[in-house]
Amino acid sequence: MNSQIIFFILSSLSLVSALFVVFSKNPIYSVMWLIVCFISIFGHYLMLNAQFLAIIHLIVYAGAIMVLMLFTVMLLNLNKESEPHKSPLPKVAAIISGGLLLLVLLAAMHSGSLPGYISPDLTDTGYVQKVGIKIFTDFLLPFEMTSILFIAAMIGAVVLAKKEKH
Amino acid sequence: MTIFIFKAVLIFIIFLISLGIAAYSTYAERKVAAFLQDRIGPDRAGPFGLLQPLADGVKMFLKEEIIPTVSDKWLFILGPCLFMVTALMTSAVIPWGMPLEIGGKIYKLQVADLNIGILYILGVVSLGVYGIMIGGWSSNNKFALLGAIRASSQMISYELAMGMSVIAIILISNGSLSLTAIVESQKGLNWNVFYQPVAFLIFIICAFAECNRTPFDLPESESELIGGYHTEYSSMKLGLYLFAEYINMFISSAVISCLFFGGYNFPGLDYLNTVLPVNLVSLISIGILFVKIFFFIFFFMWIRWTIPRFRYDQLMRLGWQILMPLSIINVLVTGAVLTFFNK
Amino acid sequence: MEQLEQHANPQSWYLVLSTILFSIGVMGVLFRRNAIIILMCIELMLNSVNLLLVSFSAYSGNSDGQVFVFFIMVVAAAEVAVGLALLVSIYRNVASTDIDVLSKLKW
Amino acid sequence: MTWIERLYLPAIFQGLSITIKHLFKKKVSLRYPEVKRAFAAVYRGMHVLKRDEQGRENCTACGLCAVACPAEAITMVAAERKKGEENLYREEKYAAIYEINMLRCIFCGLCEEACPKDAIYLTDRLVPSEYSRGKFVFGKDMLVEAVDQRIDISKRKKVYEI
Amino acid sequence: MDNYSELINLMRPAMLIPLFPLLGFLIIAFFGKSLKHFSGWIACLSILASFFCSLYLFINLSSNQKLDFTVFEWIRWGDINLSFGLLVDPLTIVMLLVITGIGFLIHVYSIGYMHTDEGFSRFFSYLNLFIFFMLILVMGNSYLIMFIGWEGVGLCSYLLIGFWFKNQAFNNAAKKAFIMNRIGDLGFLIGMFFMLHYFGGLDYNLVFSAAQSHPKGSTLLVTITLLLFIGAMGKSAQIPLYTWLPDAMAGPTPVSALIHAATMVTAGIYMICRSGVLFALAPQTLEVVLIVGVATSLFAAIIGLKQNDIKKVLAYSTVSQLGLMFVALGLGAFSSGMFHVVTHAFFKALLFLGAGSVIHAMGGEQDIRNMGGLKKYIKITYITFIIGTLAISGIFPFAGFFSKDEILAASFAEYKLVWILMSFSSMLTAFYMFRLYFLTFSNNFRGTQDQQHHLHESPATMTIPLIVLAFLSVIGGLLGLPVVMSHTHLFSQYLEPVFEVSKNIIGAQHNLAHRTEWVLMGVATLAAIASVFVAYNLYISKKILPEPDADVKGFTKWVANKFYVDEFYNKVFVRPVMVMSDIFFVLIDKLFIDLFVNAVAWIVGFTGRTMRLVQTGNTRFYIFAMVIGIIILLYCQLVHPFLNVYFN
């Protein structure tokens, strides 16, 4: 029962914070709520015994990506939505289509064979050794590719963000 | 259930010790500064001024609580809280000593023995940026924002080299990420610092930067930015910021002791283990760890009152162009040496 | 956290949770006009997928799913770095991150 | 710079050794209220307006001190001595109001030099601290020495006599 | 496979052989700009390393062993499995030694020759690439790998002929070589398809064992071998595909020496030797080879008589010698053919390099009418050149004598007529070579004052390879002393295991009596000396000079203009194709295809113009459309059971 309670607390936290990400007026608040959401997902990962991934998630998302987001929002000074009021039609359409997608996906799951009450196989799947061995044997090539992707992205970001000299 | 009670008590004690050490660090800082400058330092409140932290605390509490009207109130309050929380959270994975034996049961002196202990520390440290950024931004003050941005970019930059230097340590301590395992692998005088001096150097430099201590205290450099990110803060919220910095210093000293100086290990521990009762040995080991921690706290202060502050570009160059490559080379060399000589 | 107790949450809960998170992300992309928030909503969607993969990995006792998540994180980080750099340079030109303003895609 | 010097580490260790040496040096601090540092003979502190042996004020409001003052800190209003005030003022003219703005005063001692009547002296007393700026304009109540509490200025006089 | 582990140890050096030039190529290609003249030495070193590896293999691999292994799996579909594998046997080793050895010498020579050229490192990168492909060609263990090298050397040849790409004529020569080779390659390729289809693979082992199950002379085998021979004709410049080789002299002289004399053009010979089993099973094809070889040899020799460009003479002599080699192959004397390949590589490389040295001394002048009397000025070149000339003329005891004699003896044993024709061809060769030699080195200098002033001996990097090659040209024949002179024929004994199967298929060869052989040798030597004497009489005693191009008349004009073969090809092949393409352009392209294409374009344009209205430029609209699309798709695919049927 304990784990169910934790699950519901974490899930409601992540859902509520995700909603706040979308509906907060102030971008800074959106960023903060997204961080909360990520931390709740961190909790989910721990629940699923993926400790290594949980920490990596924390370091990468909360520690790096969101700092970058916050940084940009602060630098661009987007503290208030200074956009003029526009027609609410797109927003209504957004909500409707989001809801439709949810319905379709849930319906698809329902019609398909959902994994039922399988008890989780809480072995050492999430341990560093296991994941590391996977990465450096079966997934070595993708791993190297991602490193290339990464360096390309880094160079690209530097080039893009650098001020052009006139 | 007793394990939970024990853990709760342990957490509480660590909390108190952290606060206490942070409080006395402020006192020690002033004392050390004074001594290094041929002065005496605070000595009025209590014998040798030992009650000075208390007086400072009281003063902080009694100061007027100011929240700027143009600031974002919630974030303004959230900032110091976050900073304090992240500072305290790090202490969860540090092994404080040999296990205690109470009522025939063995209790580890560690809140949580995660098998990813070091990563946990890095992760929590990376969260520490938020406290500073939020506080600095929500103050709605140019100096505070500049301080916050400096702090965040500095912390992100140095975190990388820090992580890389830790990898070398993981390599030589049987590939375990758990702090207990790392400490256990340094029995006797088999300390990592002797095998990994370069990693130690990188780590300690990065620790200075992560704690925003001189010579890396650009985020709060009073001569340029008044107070940096906490320019607008006053009263106990300022107190929290200052306090949390000292807690950070304490924790990073503890981490350095555990990673590089054998934690609670000292030569002769095994011998004592055979002669003395378990709990006494445990207490001695705790004492040893704290001696090391105090040395590093002193070292932090010593450095602060010796070396002047970097310029911002120098800081970035040091982080990216020197420490980063150096730590990567260190990892490569360590790996190569391990591969060629251990097989 | 030393050893999590065996829990019996059905995996369908994770499926539903990540589906809802994904839908919220999609809705956010459509709802907001600020490009940074759109980026954030994309991150949200990626994370819902990550959660799903991790749950599959945990329930099937195979680490592959976690490796995928690892790669997704790399891609996400790269995406954010480039995306934000783009946004900053766009902001320099048009002083806005409103994607309705960015109609230069029109020929 | 050589390669070793470029590392900066030797320099850092050198700096650290210097500071650690100071840890063990004799401290120079004094515990102030209990232990005080002796003033120099020529220390120029708060002013005093002197009286003569019979308790009469020396000042005749000639205004030379105000003229000499580079910071223009001294203002005075002269008045004529009335009958029956001979025991108060030494000569026919005296300063009815004599004010020194202590925030402007630079304690240069020119007023002392300018005074022909040995009326004003700078002493080794410290200017007391106040809470408002207005209170730093010291009037005669603060400056003139009390009859029963003469302030010893012999050291300074001696200096001039040489 | 007697000593398995020992062979395993040889795999690594075998793999290293092609890798060194590749490495050299990559280094020079990427860092050539910064390496400057250092790149020449890198190129040399890489070839030298390959040479030593080849030597190592030569020493460690006895002649009845062979190394055949797969480096990596490459293509696999169905039952067909094409892997990248290497084969090292005596035949390969002979080629390897020739390629890397002579290649190294020519690399060294090039350092001196190309010293002032602005494309110095580009040149060496091409050379290294060429060596790499050539090594792949000879080391492959299947026709596919050979074809990779085959095409690769073709590419390098193209690049190097057009090395001075600012000159349009040179570019045209390069294109001509490339296209001519393509015609041959098409034959090769189709042959490969046949093999793939009927034998189920391209590995030599597989093909040869499969071919032996077919009857001797069956249509299939004849077809395949003819197609392969077309490929060989293209690469080895045989009639009718020979015209590219003289034009290929547009490239730098070391290229002519390496590619168009010593190595690449012998690829055709190598290929036929390698597929000896196939050819032996198709006697009809061997006859075709013989006829083509004889015709080419004679034809090119006749043209060579009247050429005045020093390199053109050598080029036609190369064609002629290649024809001689094909004659050997056509007679089924594979090892004799290979022997001539080796000796020819020595002396022809020497002659080309000597010609290069002459051109170098003359400051770029190539017309022998403007030379003369050079022996006073360039001693080393002169001496080495005369050695080369003697060798090619087949005068005892130089290298050419032995190899030529072997082929002549073989032809005498089989067809007397061929023997007569080939002897005549040899005489012609001796004649025009001495003509070249006399006109170039004897008498007085006929060039301008400037040129005379400029005359100088080449640097050591150029002369040392000349000396080494001259030495080889002298002693090269000792590799294959005929049986009449010594106990064993070293060369053919070494190669014997390779050609064992094909020998058995062809059947017993006619063996000549020793006396007959001595007589044949005597006749050949006398004939050669007679032609030398005629040449001496004409060009030294009578001091006849070739007349200027305008004064040439009659049959000589035909010869001087190479029998108008190029013009003939232009008229017969190129012109009709052009006319046809004009007709097709007007009739089919303009009327039919354009209409169709334009209609499609218009429809696309119309749709585009219409659809453009959807392109609002508003990012949010796009995202919205995308999401809606996804919803619909998911609905159809996953949820709606009725639509599900149709989508699946």
Query: What residue spans define the domains of chain B?
Result: 3-340
How close, in Å, is residue E607 to chain C by CA atoms?
16
Chains interfacing with A (3 or more CB pairs < 8 Å)? B, C, E
Q: Which amino acid is at E22?
A: L
Chains interfacing with D (3 or more CB pairs < 8 Å)? B
Cβ contacts of residue E59 below 8 Å, gap of 6+?
none
Are 3 or more Cβ–Cβ pairs between B and E shorter than 8 Å? no
**C51 in any annotated domain:** yes
Q: Is C26 an 8 Å CB contact of chain E?
A: yes
**E644 in any annotated domain:** yes
Would the CB atoms of C103 and E618 count as touching at under 8 Å? yes
Q: What percent of chain E has pLDDT over 90?
A: 8
Of A13, A4, A7, nearest to A39 by C-alpha is: A13
CATH number at residue C95: 1.10.287.3510
Of A81, A67, A10, nearest to A39 by C-alpha is: A10
Give E281-302 as a DSSP string. Answer: T-HHHHHHHHHHHHHHHHHHHH
- Selecting from E615, E619, E627 the residue whose C-beta is nearest the C-beta of C99 gives E619
Structural Rg of chain C based on CA atoms: 18
Which chain B residues are within 8 Å of C2, Cβ to Cβ? 112-113
Residue C51: Cβ within 10 Å count:
23
Whole-number Å distance between alpha carbons of E407 and E410: 5
E260 plus E303 within the same structural domain: no
Chains interfacing with B (3 or more CB pairs < 8 Å)? A, C, D
E525 plus E634 within the same structural domain: no
Cβ contacts of residue E15 below 8 Å, gap of 6+?
E71, E86
pLDDT, tens digit (0-9, with 9 covering 90-100), for E36-82: 778 888 889 999 999 999 988 888 887 778 888 888 877 777 777 78
How close, in Å, is residue A119 to chain B by CA atoms?
24
User: What pLDDT does residue C2 have?
Assistant: 38
**E377 in any annotated domain:** yes
Query: Could you tell me the sign of the dihedral formed by the alpha carbons of B202, B207, B210, B214, in that order?
Result: negative
CB pairs under 8 A between A and C: 259
Q: Which amino acid is at B7?
A: K
Residue D50: Cβ within 10 Å count:
19
Q: How far is CA E173 from CA E157, E243, E249, E312, E600, in A?
A: 11, 10, 8, 13, 40
Bigger pLDDT: D61 vs A128: D61
**C13 in any annotated domain:** no
User: What pLDDT does residue C26 have?
Assistant: 87
Q: Is residue A121 scored above 60 in pLDDT?
A: no
Number of structural domains (chain D) is 1
CATH number at residue D63: 3.30.70.3270
How close, in Å, is residue B271 to chain A by CA atoms?
34
Residue E481: Cβ within 10 Å count:
16
> Best of C1, C80, C88 to disrupt the B interface by mutation (most B CBs within 10 Å)?
C1
Contact E521, E529 (CB under 8 A): no
Taking a contact as any Cβ pair under 8 Å apart, which residues of chain C between 7 and 66 contact chain A? 7-17, 19-28, 30-34, 36-37, 39-41, 43-44, 47, 50-51, 54-55, 57-64, 66
User: What pLDDT does residue A17 have?
Assistant: 92
A26 class by beta-carbon count within 10 Å (0-12 exposed, 13-18 middle, 19+ buried): middle
Would the CB atoms of E620 and A90 count as touching at under 8 Å? yes
E106 plus E247 within the same structural domain: yes
> Best of A3, A76, A154 to disrupt the C interface by mutation (most C CBs within 10 Å)?
A76
Of E467, E489, E469, E487, nearest to E478 by C-alpha is: E489
Q: Where would I find the H helices in E200-333?
A: 204-211, 219-235, 244-247, 253-257, 267-274, 276-280, 283-305, 310-330
User: What pLDDT does residue E395 have?
Assistant: 82
**Torsion angle of alpha carbons A70, A74, A77, A82, nearest 10°?**
30
Whole-number Å distance between alpha carbons of E75 and D90: 126
User: What pLDDT does residue B82 have?
Assistant: 87
- Selecting from A70, A71, A127 the residue whose C-beta is nearest the C-beta of B115 gives A127
Q: Encode E193-225: b = buried (16+ Cβ within 10 Å), e = exposed.
A: ebbbeebebbbbeebbeebbebeeeeebbbbbb
Whole-number Å distance between alpha carbons of E343 and E338: 9
Which chain E residues are within 8 Å of C33, Cβ to Cβ? 620
Q: Is residue A82 scored above 70 in pLDDT?
A: no
Which chain C residues are within 8 Å of A45, Cβ to Cβ? 51, 54
**pLDDT tens, N- to C-terminus, chain D (162 residues):** 677 777 788 888 888 888 888 888 888 888 888 888 888 877 888 888 888 888 888 888 888 989 999 999 999 998 888 888 888 888 888 888 999 999 999 988 888 888 888 888 888 888 888 899 888 899 888 888 887 878 877 777 655 554
Number of structural domains (chain C) is 1
Would the CB atoms of B38 and D12 count as touching at under 8 Å? no
User: For A1-78, which CATH class?
Assistant: mainly alpha
User: What pLDDT does residue B274 have?
Assistant: 80
| Mean pLDDT over each residue of chain A, to the nearest integer | 79
Which chain C residues are within 8 Å of B113, Cβ to Cβ? 2
**E234 in any annotated domain:** no
**D34 in any annotated domain:** no
Full domain range(s) for residue E29? 1-179+241-264
Would the CB atoms of E639 and A107 count as touching at under 8 Å? yes
Taking phi over 0 as left and psi of -120 to 50 as alpha, with beta for the rest, E356 belongs to: alpha
Full domain range(s) for residue D120? 47-154
- Selecting from A28, A32, A63 the residue whose C-beta is nearest the C-beta of B126 gives A63
**C80 in any annotated domain:** yes
Contact B180, B99 (CB under 8 A): no
**D130 in any annotated domain:** yes
Question: Which residue is it, tokens 């596919």?
Answer: E144
Tokens of B67: 């929240």
- Selecting from A35, A63, A70 the residue whose C-beta is nearest the C-beta of B123 gives A63
Residue of chain B whose Cα is closest to the Cα of C1: B112
Q: What is the pTM of this model?
A: 0.59
Would the CB atoms of E624 and A112 count as touching at under 8 Å? no
Q: Is residue E646 scored above 80 in pLDDT?
A: no
Contact E58, E93 (CB under 8 A): yes
Tokens of B5: 């009670």
Would the CB atoms of C107 and E620 count as touching at under 8 Å? no
How close, in Å, is residue E620 to chain C by CA atoms?
7
- Selecting from A101, A111, A112 the residue whose C-beta is nearest the C-beta of E627 gives A101
Which chain B residues are within 8 Å of D26, Cβ to Cβ? 38
Residue of chain B whose Cα is closest to the Cα of C3: B114
Which chain C residues are within 8 Å of E624, Cβ to Cβ? 30
Whole-number Å distance between alpha carbons of E39 and E122: 9
Which chain B residues are within 8 Å of D12, Cβ to Cβ? 306-307
> Best of A75, A128, A131 to disrupt the B interface by mutation (most B CBs within 10 Å)?
A128
Band of pLDDT at residue B125, cut at 50, 70 and 90: confident
Contact B269, B187 (CB under 8 A): yes
Tell me the sheet residues that pair with D122.
D47
Which chain E residues are within 8 Å of C100, Cβ to Cβ? 618, 620
pLDDT, tens digit (0-9, with 9 covering 90-100), for B267-310: 877 787 788 887 888 888 888 889 999 999 999 888 888 888 88
Full domain range(s) for residue C91? 33-99
Would the CB atoms of A71 and B134 count as touching at under 8 Å? no
User: What pLDDT does residue E179 have?
Assistant: 87
User: What pLDDT does residue E486 have?
Assistant: 67
**C104 in any annotated domain:** no
Would the CB atoms of A97 and E635 count as touching at under 8 Å? no
Are 3 or more Cβ–Cβ pairs between D and E shorter than 8 Å? no
Would the CB atoms of C30 and E624 count as touching at under 8 Å? yes
Residues across chain C = 107
Residue of chain D whose Cα is closest to the Cα of B322: D7
Of B66, B65, B42, nearest to B54 by C-alpha is: B42
Which chain A residues are within 8 Å of E634, Cβ to Cβ? 101, 104-105, 108
E255 plus E352 within the same structural domain: no
**C73 in any annotated domain:** yes
User: What pLDDT does residue E643 have?
Assistant: 57
Are 3 or more Cβ–Cβ pairs between C and A shorter than 8 Å? yes
